[in-house]
Structure 1
Amino acid sequence: MLRKKRISYNKPCEELECIPTTLTTSKAFKTLFALDKQVTRNIRSSHIETRPVDSNGLWCCALIPAILISYSVAYKVSPLYKLVAFLGFGLLCYSILFSLFLYMSTLILYSKLNAGCIVSMLLSTVPIYVYTDFGLAMALVFSVLAVYPYSMLLKLALVQCPRTFTVGEAMIMCQSVVLFIVTGVAIYYTEFVTPELLAKDNEMTFIAIYVYTVLSTVGLIVTALYFLQDEDKNLKVLGIIFAFGAVFALTVLHLCLGKTCLPDFVYYIIGSQVRLHLFTMWSVLVVLTVLVLMYHTEAGDKATTSARKAYHILGALVFLTGILNDVPFMVLASGISAGIIILLEALRLSRIEPISAALQAAFDIYCDEKDCGVLAMTPIYLYFGLACPLALVPWRGSKMELELMSGVLATGIGDTAASWFGHRYGVNYWPGSSRTMEGTAFNVGLQMVAVYFLHLFEWLDAPHWVVRTGVAAAVSALVEAQTQQVDNVVLPLVSLLALQATSFLA
């Protein structure tokens, strides 16, 4: 009997054409494959280096817009959420046009404004004007604030960050950044100009102000570090930058929340026994993580895949406990933590000693083959995967914990389980992949077991959880087995879409 030849995960994409599967022989797949292949040729001919994998992942551009639009259609959401969903539609339109332009040439990467931008702005302006109360002028303003920065940021990510992103990954991350920033602008606009469009929720308003203040402060600090001259890269100047950042943050918080902004923040944490317990547990986990990280960095031992996956489990534990016990507090904590992660990466790249050297040493220990670019995206991707459902799901006290846990299930539990079990016991490989069928099966099984125990101990109330979890776990596991895009980014989004597709059972 002839033994089936295993195709390497990183072989040239031409070899994948000979995989005899129904998917690869379909007309739609051949068309997409030809498009992707031509985009790859054009990018390489222009000496632009994307992350070295066979696929550009152009399909990824539809994930976030599809989630936002599906929730807008299926649920009664706020005008603000509809605004963001329609802006996401505009970004999707531009992403499609951008892919088609890349198919023809890479000139779009160097143009400041093109017809694709204008068309996409108009395509998002019309539904905002028709289906929300923002008015034509504001609909156009928000569309311009979303589509044009997205086009510039996408080009910057591909041209100025070599070997860091695939095209699809760059689209996801740029969509996330732009939509998050425009959401903050829209929140302040509705709060001070048209408050009737913003559903009043004092707790969520308090949280949003703190999250956006922290992230905007981090943005200012990162900008200052980027433009810092070599002779000014020292601890003294860094201290001055941080001091100005602190003054800026306190000023904004004082203007928005009053002179008791800091005491109110402390009381918000310690005033609830549940929040105090969560904060204490998370603090202990962070301290232990830092100590382990310092130990391995000092020893100089290169971290194994299992060691890296341990951080997936710790992250999943933090988000799981927060989602099941106090979603608003989890939103606050995740927003502030995102700022800290971004700031640490900026400090690593700042070349301010000894901080940069220490962070670089830790990165060298825990980086993997995906971290071949200028940015350390692995921890950012992991955090994005765990936290993105908190930003995408229109949670307002309703029972949607299963959707909020899509990142925990797909990345923290499923992907970790597939990696461990497949590495140890896997023997049957998927065609064209280094992932095993045994790992995929264990991925699905462990996700369902996790939800079963949460339901058994009444920590989770999710009707028809068996069908919904089964579908979402199967879809995310199959994508994990076949995709060459970063798992931590695409799996939570795919899982969330699958859960939304079965939401009629809830």
Structure 2
Amino acid sequence: MKAQFSLNFRDYNRNQFDFQCLLILICFVFSWLFIYLTTNDELCKAIFIQNSLISTWTIIYSIRIILPHSTKYSFAFMIFQCTVTILNGSAILMMLFYEDFGLCLLLVLSLFLSKSIFIAGPTLCPKTCSFIEWLLISMGCSGFFLSINLHWWSHFEDVINRPIYTFDYVVVCECLLLFGMIVSILQIIPWSTTITTTTQFYISLITIFSSVFLPQAYFFLNQNPFIWLFNYIINKSHRVYLLLFWLITSLFSLLIINLHLKFTKNLNIKHEKTIIRKYFHFLAIIVYTSGILLDTHLLIMCSVAFIVLLLLLECMKIKNIAPFGNIIRNAWNMYENEKDTGSIMVSHLFLIIGLSYPVWLADDNRRLAQLSGIISVGIGDSIASIVGSKIGIHKWPGAKRTLEGSLAGLIAQFNFIACLWYFDIIPYSQYNLFFVSLGLLFTTQIEAFSHDIDNLTLPISLFPFLYACKT
């Protein structure tokens, strides 16, 4: 029975994992490698080591999935697996001898957390994410666990010897994200049979906010987090205007969507959902481009706050929390796509995370890398989808995407970057042109031939190419 289960598990993941997924994983690791080589931040280096250890295990697992099930490869694969295991173990032992014991312990715990999420996620939430998406989620969660613990324990020199420096807005974002994740996890666990789900939700919301978010925020900021946020916004006048601009733009976009639904003559619901989702993509282009060019720190805070809000709204929709559960469900149904087949709708979350991921990783000296999400998802994917659905005729061999859509997306992305070069927002050079062209061609190929590409993975594919550009 165990052998049959293993065979079925491999066959299922073989359908989920392909060569494009392996390329995305390599791009993810290369992104952190570039950051590791260009930064002196100890936290970034620790996360890179963590991702490297996770990736080696995943590559072994991926090769085992892709290779045919035959005894011919058993001995060679066993030797390879033992070699990588020894190398990983040696890396941990070297860190124990030459690095902080506390850092090594957190690293090991984060590795176990990543593997646990990767195994438990598909079981608790089936058909929600693909293989590569669960892998990236597990890496992101374990990296978040490592980050917030290093920020916490670095205040105690007996545990972490090296200082971990960071900005106040970063630890506030971490505290807020931890609050949202704990509340979301508590909705999965039925911790009471006598209290209604609505009451459970609001009790957990208030309890976790007052016992987790507020104490940690006070600890890191040494002041009331609400007073800190107020001073942070009014400290620079452009932040107030930027927030007002985002609010007005969002309301205007909702008005356009309502008018589109009211006056449309096309009864193809699937097509209308696609068009409406692209409205939000174009809204994201405006919000994220203005935020990256004017104030990335404010954009990072708002993106994390919006992700937490979407997590809580998704919990309210699933649990049908009064009085907003049915309202959220009816509103969300209009924006779901064919990939939202599981118990949790993730496409809108992946859109925000995909757009925010480059902004979180790249600093302000690498504007082009920060725009990776906007270029790949906001512009390339949107234009390709619209043109492909309207006039697309010729399909890529063995793929659902059309040549017309891919070409339109490629041209739109390059024109956007050319405008940045023309207005001297991003420095132009032949070196940058080479990496931009290589990155755009690579992401076009990834989007055309992979079956599990979504808003989360396209920015990861483009990011290392744009990060390599000179600033």
Q: Say if 2:217 is the partner of 1:253.
A: yes
Q: TM-score if structure 1 supplies the norm length? A: 0.78
Cα deviation, residue 426, structure 1: 2.4
Among residues 97, 106, 130, which one is paired with 2:60 in the alignment? Answer: 97
Task: Evaluate the alpha carbon distance shift between residue 263 and residue 462 of structure 1 in structure 2; reply closer, same or farther with a 3 A threshold.
Answer: farther
Aligned counterpart, 1:469? 436
For 1:297 and 1:234, locate their aligned partners in 2 and report how far apart those are by CA, in whole Å. Answer: 34
For 1:306 and 1:40, locate their aligned partners in 2 and report how far apart those are by CA, in whole Å. Answer: 42
Task: Evaluate the alpha carbon distance shift between residue 116 and residue 293 of structure 1 in structure 2; reply closer, same or farther with a 3 A threshold.
Answer: farther
Deviations 1:25-60 (A, max 9, x none): xxxxxxxxxxxxx99962387xx7x79868596514
For 1:224 and 1:39, locate their aligned partners in 2 and report how far apart those are by CA, in whole Å. Answer: 30
**Structure 1 portions without partners, runs of 5+:** 1-37, 106-113
Task: Evaluate the alpha carbon distance shift between residue 275 and residue 40 of structure 1 in structure 2; reply closer, same or farther with a 3 A threshold.
Answer: farther
Letter in 2 for 1:350: K
Aligned counterpart, 1:335? 304
Letter in 1 for 2:57: Y
For 1:123 and 1:346, locate their aligned partners in 2 and report how far apart those are by CA, in whole Å. Answer: 42
Cα deviation, residue 165, structure 1: 2.1
Task: Evaluate the alpha carbon distance shift between residue 129 and residue 274 of structure 1 in structure 2; reply closer, same or farther with a 3 A threshold.
Answer: farther
Aligned length: 446
CA contact (8 A) 2:17 2:131 kept: no
Among residues 151, 165, 184, which one is paired with 1:222 in the alignment? Answer: 184
Task: Evaluate the alpha carbon distance shift between residue 123 and residue 407 of structure 1 in structure 2; reply closer, same or farther with a 3 A threshold.
Answer: farther
CA contact (8 A) 1:87 1:124 kept: no
Deviations 1:167-210 (A, max 9, x none): 2221112111211221111222234438884464xxx5211121
SS at match of 1:441: helix
Q: Say if 2:379 is the partner of 1:413.
A: yes
For 1:296 and 1:40, locate their aligned partners in 2 and report how far apart those are by CA, in whole Å. Answer: 50
Aligned counterpart, 1:305? 274
CA contact (8 A) 1:472 1:499 kept: yes
Task: After TM superposition, list the pairs within 5 Å mapping 1:287-326 onto structure 2.
Answer: 287-288=251-252, 302=269, 303-326=272-295
CA contact (8 A) 1:51 1:164 kept: no
Aligned counterpart, 2:445? 478
Aligned counterpart, 2:121? 157
Q: Say if 2:175 is the partner of 1:213.
A: yes
Identical amino acids, percent of aligned pairs: 19
SS at match of 1:232: coil
Task: Evaluate the alpha carbon distance shift between residue 195 and residue 401 of structure 1 in structure 2; reply closer, same or farther with a 3 A threshold.
Answer: farther
Among residues 21, 29, 32, which one is paired with 1:65 in the alignment? Answer: 29
CA contact (8 A) 1:83 1:128 kept: no
Letter in 2 for 1:420: I
Deviations 1:318-369 (A, max 9, x none): 1111111112222222222221122211222223234222222222221111
Letter in 2 for 1:150: S
For 1:492 and 1:218, locate their aligned partners in 2 and report how far apart those are by CA, in whole Å. Answer: 24
CA contact (8 A) 2:33 2:48 kept: yes
Task: Evaluate the alpha carbon distance shift between residue 116 and residue 94 of structure 1 in structure 2; reply closer, same or farther with a 3 A threshold.
Answer: farther
Q: TM-score if structure 2 supplies the norm length? A: 0.84
SS at match of 2:401: coil
Letter in 1 for 2:278: K
**Structure 2 portions without partners, runs of 5+:** 71-80
Task: Evaluate the alpha carbon distance shift between residue 39 and residue 172 of structure 1 in structure 2; reply closer, same or farther with a 3 A threshold.
Answer: farther
CA contact (8 A) 2:406 2:444 kept: yes
Letter in 2 for 1:382: L
Cα deviation, residue 258, structure 1: 2.5
CA contact (8 A) 2:103 2:150 kept: no
Cα deviation, residue 259, structure 1: 3.2
CA contact (8 A) 1:56 1:167 kept: no
Moved more, 407-416 or 153-162: 153-162
CA contact (8 A) 2:102 2:160 kept: no
Task: Evaluate the alpha carbon distance shift between residue 391 and residue 145 of structure 1 in structure 2; reply closer, same or farther with a 3 A threshold.
Answer: farther
Deviations 1:252-288 (A, max 9, x none): 2223222343222112112212211211112223444
For 1:239 and 1:116, locate their aligned partners in 2 and report how far apart those are by CA, in whole Å. Answer: 50
Cα deviation, residue 439, structure 1: 1.7
Among residues 406, 415, 422, which one is paired with 2:388 in the alignment? Answer: 422
